[in-house]
Amino acid sequence: MRDCSRLTTLVVLALTLSLAGCGGDGSQQEQEASAPAEAGETQQDTVEADAEEAAPETDSDPDASDERVIEVVVRDFAIDAPEEMGTGWYTMRLENLGQQTHFVIMYRLVEGKTIEDQRREVVPAFDELMAGIRSGEIEKADIGTFLGENIPEWGLQMTYVGGVGLLAPGRSAQTSFRVPEPGTYLMECYVKSPDGTFHTSMGMLTQVDVVDQGGEGAEPEADATIAITNDGIEAPDTLPSGSQTIRVDIEDRPETFMPYDVNLARLEEDSDLEDIVSWMDWSDVGGLRAPAPVEFLGGVEHMEAGNHGYMTVDLSPGRYLWISEINAAEMHQVFTVE
Ligand SMILES: [Cu+2]
């Protein structure tokens, strides 16, 4: 496959950046990540670079317009998404037609692996792990060891690119993120049903083949920015009401097998922050288990450090919460919409 070398470069680069604890902003990362293209590996890469500089207004190909959208619908329990999409900046519009809270995370599998491999070699191990935690046979401290012994190496080497965060039943949300490379990607929701079964095992896992589309697509313009670092979530104390596009910079990578995400929830008078924080941990028996303790409005799903995404949301006055699934006790921030 012609993209192997570039993929490897990117993965190594991401690892190097995260090991070095290097924050940096997304644009720096993108510049570095696109460096291999300058060597002229493929014709497509050259076209891509030229198109960014020239950007002719009278494009003969209407499909080359800048905005790339993928419509996704979730139900109890399925993810309806196109089987194929392109590279570059995408806006995922998600509609939750289910009775439970769902999200849609998107990640690239290691080269050569498909949804069948995931179903056969990865999904059952997580079901077994959760059953073990429920019965008390597996301690939370032993999760890393269990996964290491029961999942092949590739099964913990996904590249997370984003998706729409936790979204309450009946709601819609949209999140923009960059799909960097062609390859075999999966979309998944691993919220749990009331009986503790991962939605993944109930049908919420689907494959999307990403093809090289050329160009970068249109990146949204932000009204506000929040940053996710190992020290917490840096966010404005207040945001204006109305439609807001919020840029989310994922600057660090935690020492877990998944990078950070961020979700938005609307707090009510009776919302219990401690309950919400403990609900975010999938490895708790009651964690990520429906029903959710608060109304979630979407978010930016897990993505590797050095990248950024955007969520567009219509905010009414009230109190809100940014919260990550990873280390939620530290990684949350309350703010007000005026
Ligand atoms: Cu779900």
Domain, as residue range, for 327? 68-338
Residue 147 alpha carbon to ligand 1 centre in Å: 22
Residue 183 alpha carbon to ligand 1 centre in Å: 24
Residue 261 alpha carbon to ligand 1 centre in Å: 16
pTM confidence score: 0.81
253 pLDDT exceeds 70? yes
Residue 264 alpha carbon to ligand 1 centre in Å: 16
158, two tokens: 């996904």
Give the pLDDT score at 179.
97
- In-domain check, residue 306: yes
CATH code of the domain in which 116 resides: 2.60.40.420
- In-domain check, residue 51: no
Phi-psi region of 15 (alpha: psi -120 to 50; beta: other; left: phi over 0): alpha
Residue 16 alpha carbon to ligand 1 centre in Å: 33
Q: What share of the chain in percent tops pLDDT 90?
A: 79
**Closest Cα partner for 104 from 87, 90, 117?**
90
- Residue 269: how many CB atoms within 10 A of its CB? 5
32 pLDDT exceeds 70? no
- In-domain check, residue 179: yes
- In-domain check, residue 53: no
- In-domain check, residue 35: no
Residue 81 alpha carbon to ligand 1 centre in Å: 14
Phi, psi of 26 (to 5 degrees): -60, -35
- Tell how many helices (H) and how many strands (E) occur in the chain: 7, 18
pLDDT, tens only, 317-338: 999 999 999 999 999 999 999 9
Residue 294 alpha carbon to ligand 1 centre in Å: 15
**Closest Cα partner for 165 from 260, 296, 299, 34?**
299
**d(C-alpha 260, C-alpha 40), whole Å:** 33
**d(C-alpha 258, C-alpha 248), whole Å:** 17
Number of domains in the chain: 1
Residue 220 alpha carbon to ligand 1 centre in Å: 27
- In-domain check, residue 8: no
Side-chain half-sphere exposure of 70, counting CA atoms within 13 A:
30
Res. 66 pLDDT band, cuts 50 70 90: confident
Residue 100 alpha carbon to ligand 1 centre in Å: 7
Q: What is the DSSP letter of 128?
A: H
Average pLDDT score, the chain:
86
**Closest Cα partner for 104 from 17, 205, 195, 11?**
205
- In-domain check, residue 199: yes
- In-domain check, residue 56: no
